[in-house]
Structure 1
Amino acid sequence: MSSADISTWSRHGFEINTDKSKLDRESILKMLGATYWARDVSKEDLWTSILNSRTYGLYSPQGEQAGFGRMVTDFSRFAWMSDVYILPVHRGLGHGKWIVETMLSDPLLASVRRIMLSTNDAHSLYERHGFKVIGGDDEEGRQTMQLKR
C-alpha cells in the first residue's frame, strides 16, 4: 500500500481514515484485549495482524481513536472483516453502521465479491448490509456470516 491508497471519509466532525500511521496502538490493543474474539491473542500478534490488513480508524472531532475495523484481503476476490468496534462513549450515534458501510464501499475493495466475518453478538448490524449466516456456531458460539456481491 502506498500513500495514494489512503482514504478518508468525514461525517458530523468524525473521520474514518485508512492511514495506519494515525492509529492509536495502545487504545486499539486495550479495546481489542477486552473483546471475546481477541482477548487471548498476544498484543504483538494482534498488532502484526492489524499492520497486515486494510485498516479503518474512526476518530472523534478531538482526534481520539473512537473506533476501528479492518479487512484482511487480497484486494481482488476475498476479504475477512474483523475487529470492528466503537468505544462505549461513542456508541448509539450510528458510528458502527457508518464504519461497516465505509469498509464495504471502499473503492480499493470494489472487486471483492465475497466478504466474510464471524460474530456472536452483532448479527443485526451485518444483516442490514446483506450478510447472511452460513454456518452453525463454532466452539466459542460465533457464527460465520458472508456477503456475496
Structure 2
Amino acid sequence: MSDGYEIRTDLAEMDLDRVHGWLSTDAYWALGRTRDNVGTAAAHSLNYGVFHGRGQVAYARVVTDRANFAWLCDVYVDRDHCGRGLGRMVVKAVNRDLDAFGVRRTLLATGTAHGVYEPLGFGPLPDPTMWMIRQEG
C-alpha cells in the first residue's frame, strides 16, 4: 500500500492485544470490552489490519454472511497514525472484498466519522422506521 502501510486480513497476524487496548480504552463504542470478547469477535469475523513496519496501526472488523449482508465495525486507527487516510484505505479494502462476495447491504454505526464513510458510498438508512434493535442492558 502507500507510504509503507499494508493491509493484512489473516487473523493470525492481528495484534489482538493491541486491538483490545485501543477498543477498550479509547473507542467510545467499546469502552471496557474484555480481551476475551475482542478475541471471540475477531474469530467469528473478517479482520482487516493496517500494518506499518512491524506493528499494527489500524483495525476493522466485518460481520457478514458473505452473500447478502455485512456489518462494518470496530474501525480504529492508532492516534499516532491518524490523518493519513488509513481509515479510508481499510474501508476501501472492505468494500472491495464485500463487492466480490456479492454483498449488497453493508451497515455501520458512527458518531464521529461520517465524513470518512460518505465518500465511500455510505449514507443514512433509506427508511430507518423499518429497522429494529434488540439490546441487552
Q: Taking structure 1 as the reference length, what is the TM-score of the superposition?
A: 0.79
Aligned to 2:120, the other structure's residue is in SS state: coil
CA distance in 2, matches of 1:54, 1:114: 16
- Matching residue of 2:48: 56
Check 1:32–1:109 CA distance in 2 against 1; reply closer, same or farther (3 A cut): farther
Q: Which structure has more strand as a fraction of its residues?
A: 1
1:89 paired residue among 72, 80, 83: 80
Tell me the CA shift for residue 46 of structure 1: 2.2
Q: Secondary structure at the match of 1:31?
A: helix
Alignment gaps of 5+ in structure 1: 1-9, 137-149
Moved beyond 3 Å, runs of 4+: 107-110
Deviation at 1:43, TM superposition (A): 2.1
Distance 1:96 1:108 in 2: 18
- Tell me whether 1:46 sits opposite 2:38 in the alignment: yes
Cα RMSD for the two superposed structures: 1.7
> Cα–Cα, structure 1 residues 40 and 133, in superposed 2: closer, same or farther, change >3 Å?
farther
Tell me the secondary structure at the aligned position of residue 128 of structure 1.
helix
Counterparts of 1:42 and 1:109, CA distance in 2:
33
Higher relative contact order (CA 8 A, sep 6+): 2
Contact 1:75 1:109 in 2 (8 A): no
Q: Separation in 1 of the partners of 2:74 and 2:54?
A: 20
Aligned pairs, how many? 126
Q: 1:108 Cα shift?
A: 7.2
Which residue type is aligned with residue 44 of structure 1? Answer: D
Where does residue 134 of structure 2 map in the other structure? Answer: none
Q: Identity of paired residues, percent?
A: 33
1:77 maps to 68
From 119, 124, 131, the equivalent of 1:128 is 119
> 1:5-41, CA deviations, whole angstroms, 9 ceiling, x for partnerless residues?
xxxxx33211101111111121000001121111143
How far did 1:125 drift?
A: 0.8
